[in-house]
Amino acid sequence: MYCIRSIFTLIKRHQPITAIPKINILKTSFKSELSRFYSKVIEDESDNIINELCNGDPEQEKKLRILMLEVEVMRQDGRCAPNILLSKHWQHLMQLETRNQRTKYLLYLWKTEKSKENQKAKKEARRKQLEEMPPEANKEYPDDITYGISERSLFLRIRDQSINNFDNYRNLQAIIHGLPIVIDCSYEDYMVYREAVNAAKQMTFLFGDNRIHRDPFNIHLCNVNTEGSFMKQLEKNIPSLKESWFPLNIHTKSYLDIFPKERLVYLTPHCREELTKFDYDAVYIVGCMVDKVNNEPLSLAKAKRDGIKMAKLPLDRYLEWAPGSKKNLNINHMIPILLDLKSTGDWEFSLRHIPRRKLMETKILAMQKALKNTQLSKDEVFNNFKKYSNLKGISSFKNRRSSSRKSLYDDD
């Protein structure tokens, strides 16, 4: 009996000793292999980005590795930094000089990433909600036909792609029969990256507004830098931009090489001559520039250098501008104004595309709303603005507006 007990005790003692180390060895080896795999993937991605951007330059490589370390420290500290950064993002970060600029750019990328994640989560939640919703039992009799979006309909459904093809076909007709208009894209060197992205956004709106008009322009983009940030952002906004069938003319050469010089008219707010009526034989040029940082009259200098005619919109004749509002209009406002002017010839109808925030009437109404308790009249509020404006009252402005309208019609 003693021998049997001793055998069982020896088995019980040796059983945990042999089992536990094996399990620990397996766990540690698996974790080490997993961490080694992920670190190798991250190292491979960073090395690929460094090789792509630096091209063997040791100074650029050192700068990029410091930036990668700076972004990783921001992530570890819990600050706003995106989880995924592409090579174009690293390239733009290398161009930023101060840490404050890099922090703002990383914050912008982080907000964009989180908004995409939220949109994806909302779509997934909506899909699950639609799957779980029971079918509506609104039938009075079992043979009744159910009408709705997912059921039968009385009308043929017109899809977004059909509307898109219809608008593009109208724009293709404008390329053959429409009046040409030029968008001068030679100002990219005078804009920072944010302004170039904003200009591409305005160009996207311009293309959409032009093609839904009943008589669109034949748009020509001239002096285009195909490798610049403007075109890269525009291709991102319009993925089919480089397709052969896309209804937009893109030229890397100047407008002087495409159109005769005597037909060209450069629209700039810095000249003195006003545009009284739309000339159907002229080719109007609009500069594609966002001048939040650089306020120099570059379009005026460009027109003088090329030796072509200049004109500006008669904004002071028909509109009352608020103090401090610039008269530089976006390209997505200029083209709709010219489209309506070409179709109707009415300046008051065409200038409806100008943002209301630039006008004195909006400022006065905002002031009246803010000073509602004081019970000031519109004339009294307007007189308070006299020290900021050169006008003498609403009545004088109305008289000046009617006389200018009469002189304009007399010129016709």
- pLDDT digits 0-9 by tens, 224-275: 998 888 999 999 999 988 888 899 999 999 999 999 999 999 999 888 898 9
Is residue 159 one of the residues assigned to a domain?
no
| Co-location of 173 and 290 in the same domain | yes
| Co-location of 209 and 285 in the same domain | yes
**Which residue's entry shows tokens 């040029």?**
285
| Co-location of 274 and 178 in the same domain | yes
Single pTM value for the model = 0.68
pLDDT by residue, tens only, the chain of 412 residues: 445 555 555 555 554 444 434 434 334 444 444 444 444 445 567 788 888 888 888 888 888 888 889 899 888 888 888 988 888 888 888 888 888 888 999 999 999 999 999 999 999 998 888 778 766 555 667 777 666 666 666 777 778 889 988 999 999 999 999 899 999 999 988 888 889 999 999 999 999 999 999 999 999 999 999 888 899 999 999 998 888 889 999 999 999 999 999 999 999 988 889 898 999 999 999 999 888 877 788 889 999 999 999 999 998 888 888 777 777 888 999 999 999 999 998 888 998 898 888 888 887 777 777 777 665 555 665 566 554 454 444 444 444 444 433 333 333 3
**C-alpha–C-alpha distance, residues 192 and 351, integer Å:** 29
**C-alpha–C-alpha distance, residues 305 and 74, integer Å:** 49
Is residue 374 one of the residues assigned to a domain?
no
Number of domains composing the chain: 2
| Co-location of 198 and 305 in the same domain | yes
**C-alpha–C-alpha distance, residues 342 and 336, integer Å:** 10
| Co-location of 95 and 177 in the same domain | no
| Co-location of 122 and 169 in the same domain | no
| Co-location of 239 and 101 in the same domain | no
**Which residues span the domain enclosing 75?**
41-132
Task: Indicate the residue among 84, 109, 132 that finishes a domain.
Answer: 132
| Co-location of 127 and 200 in the same domain | no
* Strand arrangement, sheet containing 218-222: 249-250, 218-222, 180-184, 283-287, 264-267, 309-311
| Co-location of 117 and 180 in the same domain | no
Is residue 258 one of the residues assigned to a domain?
yes
Q: Give me the phi and psi of 367, to 5 degrees please.
A: -65, -40
Each residue's pLDDT tens digit, 5-48: 555 555 555 544 444 344 343 344 444 444 444 444 455 677 88
**Which residue's entry shows tokens 């009469």?**
406
| Co-location of 70 and 195 in the same domain | no
| Co-location of 304 and 251 in the same domain | yes
CA dist 316 → 31, 329, 349, 398 (Å):
73, 14, 15, 12
| Co-location of 123 and 247 in the same domain | no
Is residue 16 one of the residues assigned to a domain?
no
Instruction: Mark out the alpha helices in 55-192 (DSSP H runs).
Output: 58-76, 87-95, 99-132, 160-177
Structure-token pair, residue 223: 């002096």
